[in-house]
Chain A
Amino acid sequence: MPKALPWWFNALLLPTANIFFAFIACGIVLWLVGIDVTHAIDVMFSGALGSSEGVGYTLFYATNFIFSGLAVSLAWQAGLFNIGAEGQALLGGLGISLVCLYGPQLPMYLMFPLTITIAALFGGLWALIPGWLNAYRGSHIVITTIMFNLIASSLIVYLLVGPLKQPGQMAAVSSTFSQATWLPTMEQLLGNVGIHLASSPLNLSFLLAVVCCILVYSYLWYTRVGFETRVVGLDRAGAKFGGIASKRIIISTMVLSGALAGFIGLNEVQGSSHQLHVEFVSGYGFAGIAIALMGRNHPFGIFVASILFGALYQGGGELAFSDDNVGHDVILLIQALVVLFCGALEWMLKPRLIQLLGLNRWQSPNEAQPS
């Protein structure tokens, strides 16, 4: 009679142990390079979580990671490897910029829903084309989405050196949006209810990210379409037997995935820089793959992984700022090691931990193979 391992084992203990080992490996690398490891840890930790400003930045970065992580994982549930979050985010940002620059003057409670819709629309439509090509023409989603990243970035460059370029400026950036369109920061929002935070770019879209986590979770596990999405991802023959319109599911999932990626624009463009520039996505879309992997394709896992990555981003940035020997590459190093240990070597520690905790009797013969 097979009995599963206790739920906390795979969900909590294993990832924690993996991250712990990743950090040890980081420490060894930093030590080899000749950096004072205890100092580095101190700088990173206090930089990311030690002050209310640091926490603000951490959550600000985490917002981007949540959106891109959800985008990648939602597509993955339908068996689609969407590596085009980068381009979809660019398009989302473009849509928001157009509304903020040329759109009507609206109060924030109308403006925010409008920009959400536009970001979703632009990001979603950008993902619709690869989705349609995959469903009806059998083209590979990895190839098409990566091509669409290139097209998107070329399009943005063209627009920013041409029609959208801020007059009288050398840089390829758009004009700054009017202040009425800026998303309120958390500092302002919480200031209204009497909570004082240090100034940071953390803004309203963080709340949207949290809501998206809950929505994606409910969508996938509690609705019919979510069920159909997962069946399509797991077993095409089963989906056919179940009378599920796989093609429609593929397209609609890609659109939703693109919409989520498009929301990165809300945080970065409307929430922080208040103008469109060429590189505002700067790898957040690709990082979504790592986040989805670490979060085990589960929205709540993605939330936790995003906070962790946000902290690493912020802490690593502080470290690079404070220590001349450390470049920004250290962030990439740490991220890479975390992905290596939590993704590629995910099951490495499992048998050992089971032995250590004396959980052997829980393991069924079928459980022994990692799935």
Chain B
Amino acid sequence: MSMLSPALELRHINKSYDGVIALNNASISIAPGSIHGVIGENGAGKSSLMQVAYGLLQPDGGQIFIDGVAVSLKGPSQAIEQGIGMLHQQANWLEQLTVFENVMLAEPSIGLFNRKRAQARVKLELLCREFGFEFSLSTKLSELDYSQRQLVDVLRSLYRGVRVLILDEPLALLSPTQAGYLNKLFITLKLQGISVVVVSHKLAVLHQLCDVISVIREGVVTACVSPKLVPLSELSILMIGRELMLPPSRVEPKIVAKDVLLNIQSLYVKGVSKGRKSTAYVDLTDINLSVFSGEIIALIGQPKAGQEVLLDVMAGLVKFKSGTIEFKQRVINSNSGFSVKQARELGIGYAPSPLINDGMVDMLSMAESVYLGYQQQGFGRWGIISNEAKEAHCRVMMENWRVLPILPAMQSSLFSGGNQQKMVLARELAQQPALLLLNQATQGVDASASDYLVRQLFSLRDRGASVIFYSSDLDEVMSLADRVCIFNQGRMVEVIMAANTNKADLALLIAKEPNDA
């Protein structure tokens, strides 16, 4: 393979924004038919480098080579012509159109002619079969979940004849439940001579999947290693200069939990099945759970097994039909009119899933977004606050969580996905909640921020607060949780002490069909 020229090569790329250097003489070379991981902290320049490769950013200096030929990419359309494809962190789909129509959107010349459409359809069907995509071309996008939607994007790139596919933080694709499938897909791509570039914070997943991993630090590509030769623990040293325990090591509680903080009894929640599949959820049936103060509980299960609904119910976002929730000796039943506002007043904090991104208002400045949910406390007694106070408040959070750039006045949607999620976590933790609910909290967040989050959670616990979280990352579950609740089709089928189980057993329990029990 060394005889071949690289499928894509970026040499000595420089890029700075108004004096702040984003890329400093960065070079990367992608071999044909290789799986190439790119790692680095939030804001290290990973996305900038990928955007240069896709023609979205014009570099200040440096050269791009495709198959050994120097090219200049004026925009994404030229990159696509040259066989470069990219999946973005947050893609946009037209929900009410079918898979076929969504793929064809970018091919304006084809829309008018039926014969060409039919040809395109045949070609797409072939591709679907070849790569094992499970959706049909006439399925509406609204009926697909997030990981399938990202596969639609992959299909679109394949249709356009992609030879280097860049995946920028494909959150949904990289969930552990998808890992096996992704592995197969990557191998198929490889056999076709297609290279894949994956940008992610999931070091363990990348270490397993990739042939080569490049490390970016402060705009420089500092290392390019083969995972076969370099152990996982060394990757974090390469990335941030110190070793991170991955997953973070467990800190045992100082006090033994014994006061019941939360007691859920025979809770029943009516599911929503109509409408978009992405917002539908199952019935929750007969949920019983007592949580002590100072306890960390993990809810796990396959996607849509009900664990996320339970978090929404406790946060006051979803109403329940019957049963009771007792929190801090206060009994809440289905007629109490339990709301998000009340939940917050009682000291229940909630960080929703970053995949749905409800925790931020895109068009508000970050300084204002961090008040969402806490506007009552934040704006003070008379409901009036100055801009300076808002920005100072936000600046502190940004410094603690190392969110860059430290510009509180910047619109929140302009921050990277990982940085937005860090700010959501910062906001909830700043309130010192008595009960903190987390939904896939570490998605898209870099390793040092995950590490910081875990240490924050342990110190929150040691002050007597409880945490209930859903994570699809079982390493995270094992290192954090005291007890693990397993969900299956809207029922809580098992509750196990984390000390009495291991990762492999949990994986088996998640995969189990309810009828087997």
Contact = CB atoms under 8 A, between A and B. Distances in A.
Interface of A: 1-4, 218, 221-225, 227-228, 230-231, 234-235, 237-238, 240-245, 361-362, 364-366, 371
Sorted nearest first, the 4 A-B pairs with minimum C-beta distance are: A243-B341, A243-B340, A1-B20, A224-B383
B17 A2 contact: yes
Contacts of A222: 384-386
Contact of A227 (B20, B360, B375): B375
Contacts of B473: none
A238 B372 contact: yes
A230 B375 CA distance: 12
Contacts of B383: 223-225
A234 B316 contact: no
Nearest to B374: A242
A1 B372 contact: no
B364 A243 contact: no
A362 B376 contact: no
A3 B405 CA distance: 10
B56 interface: yes
Contact of A235 (B317, B363, B386, B404): B363
A244 B397 CA distance: 23
Q: Which one of A218, A223, A228, A243 has the greatest number of beta carbons of chain B within 10 Å?
A: A243
A227 to B, nearest CB: 5
B360 A238 contact: yes
Nearest to A1: B20
Interface string B427-460: 0000000000000000000000000000000000
B51 A241 contact: no
Contacts of B57: 365
Given A223-B384, A242-B373, A235 B362 contact: yes
A20 to B, nearest CB: 29
B316 A238 contact: no
Contact of B361 (A3, A218, A231, A243): A231
A223 B379 contact: yes
A293 B337 CA distance: 40
Interface residues of B, number: 42
Contact of B344 (A2, A218, A243): A243
10 contacts: A1-B22, A1-B405, A2-B410, A223-B384, A224-B375, A224-B385, A234-B363, A240-B340, A241-B352, A371-B363
Contacts of B316: 243
B379 A235 contact: no
A236 B57 CA distance: 33
A234 B361 contact: yes
B414 A366 contact: yes
A235 B358 CA distance: 9
Given A223-B383, A240-B340, A231 B364 contact: yes
Nearest to B385: A222
Contact of B372 (A231, A361, A366): A231
A256 to B, nearest CB: 15
A17 to B, nearest CB: 24
Contacts of A242: 340, 372-373, 375
Interface in B328-382: 339-341, 343-344, 350, 352, 356, 358-364, 368, 371-373, 375-376, 378-379
A350 B9 CA distance: 34
Contacts of A223: 379, 383-385
B142 to A, nearest CB: 16
Given A1-B22, A227-B368, A243-B340, A238 B358 contact: yes
B20 A237 contact: no
B383 to A, nearest CB: 4
B376 A224 contact: yes
Contacts of B356: 237
A351 B310 CA distance: 49
Contact of B317 (A1, A241, A365): A241
B284 to A, nearest CB: 19
B18 A1 contact: yes
Contacts of B339: 243
Contact of A241 (B340, B379, B387, B405): B340
Contacts of A4: 410
Contacts of A3: 17-18
Interface string B394-433: 0000000000110000100010000000000000000000
Given A1-B405, A2-B405, A243 B17 contact: no
Contacts of A244: 341, 375
Interface in B5-19: 16-18
A145 B344 CA distance: 36
Contact of A1 (B17, B340, B375): B17
A324 B385 CA distance: 56
A221 B386 CA distance: 9
B51 to A, nearest CB: 7
B371 A227 contact: yes
Contacts of A221: 387
A238 B361 contact: yes
A354 to B, nearest CB: 14
A235 B369 CA distance: 11
A302 to B, nearest CB: 19
A178 B51 CA distance: 72
Nearest to A218: B384
A240 B350 CA distance: 13
Nearest to B345: A243
A343 to B, nearest CB: 19
Contacts of A238: 358-361, 372
Contact of B375 (A228, A237, A240, A365): A228
Nearest to B58: A365
Given A1-B22, A242-B340, A234 B362 contact: yes
A362 to B, nearest CB: 7
Nearest to B21: A1
Contacts of A224: 375-376, 378-379, 383-385
